[in-house]
Amino acid sequence: MNFLSELTGSFSIPCADNPTVAMVEAAYQHHGLDWRYINCEVPPEHLADAVRGAVAMGWRGFNCSLPHKVSVIQYLDDMGESASIMEAVNCVVIDEGKLTGQNTDGKGFVESLQERTDPAGKHMVIIGAGGAARAIGVETALTGASRITIVNRSSERGQKLAALLNEKTSATATFRQWDGPISIPEDVQIVVNATSIGLGDPDEQLDLDWDSVRSDLVMADVIPNPPKTHFVREAGERGCIVIDGLGMLVNQGVIGVKFWTGHDVDPAVMRAKLEEIFGV
C-alpha cells in the first residue's frame, strides 16, 4: 500500500475563485491517478518561499496565475520556446529538482482552435493586448498563422505586442487602434476576444461592428465564466463557428497534466466538471 500522493498545485492571489483545482482533480480521479492538486494563495513576497517549498516537498509541478507569471521566471532553470518568447510562465514542471517553465495558455487556445480550424496561413484579429492576447498571438504564430492584427485601446501595449510577434515569430503582425466599433476586414478568418469583457457578466458587450461579422468566421472567446458570453451568443446567432472560453481553459489543463504526469487525460471529463460548476 502507498499513501504518498504525487503533488501539484497552483500559486496565485486571490485564488478562491480559481476552478482549475476542481477540473484537474476530476481528471486525476477519473483516470485513477494518485495525484493531488492544491490551490494555494501566495502573495508576491512569499513566491520564492513557495517555489522552494514545492521543491522541498517533492511537488511535481505547479501553475502560476496572477501576479506571478513573470516574477516566477527568476526561480527557473529552463523555459519552453513560447514561454521564453512571451516572457510569461503559467506552468512549471519539476523534474529531479530542475524547474522548467512553460506557458500552456496559448497552447490550450491553439488546441481548441484546431478542433475547428487550422490557423496555419490564416489572418487573425486579436482584440486586446494583455497576457491572454500575448499567449494566443505567440502560440498561433508558432503554429503557422500568417497575419495577426492586434486591436487595442492602448497604442503602447498594442504596438509592443505587434513588435514582439514580428521580431520573434514568422507571422506578420500589425497594430490597429481601437477607437470605435471594431469592423472585421473581409480577408480575416479568425477573430479572438482576448479582453476581460464579459467576465462575470453575460450581458457585457464588446464594441464590435456585428454587421461586419460573416457566418464563415471562427469567433473565439477566452472568457470561461460565464461560457456563454454576449460575444459567444451573438456570434452563434449569426451562424459563425464559435469557440467558448472553456475550450482554452480545459485544454491548457490537459497539457499541464501531460507535462506533469506523462498521461493524456480526457478533456471531456474536465469540461463536464466546469460546466457543472458554472451551471451550463
Q: Which residue has the cell 457543472?
A: 276
CB atoms within 10 A of CB 40: 17
| SS3 category, 152 | strand
Omega prior to 185 cis, within 30 of 0: no
Active-site residue, selected from the candidate residues 69, 107, 122, 228: 69
**CA-based R_g, the chain, Å:** 19
The total number of residues shown for the chain amounts to: 280
Beta bridge partners of 239: none
H or E stretch covering 8: strand 6-12
Residues 6+ apart with CB under 8 A from 236: 242
Which string of b and e fits 50-69 if b means at least 16 CB within 10 Å? Answer: bbeebeeeebbbbbbbeebb
Return d(Cα 269, Cα 265) in angstroms, integer: 8
Beta bridge partners of 218: 190, 241
Active-site residue flag, 98:
no
Spatial contact of 256 and 91, defined as CB atoms under 8 Å apart: yes
Q: What residues form DSSP beta bridges with 149?
A: 125, 174
Angle in degrees, CA 230, 235, 238, rounded to 5: 130
- Which residues participate in catalysis according to the annotation? 69
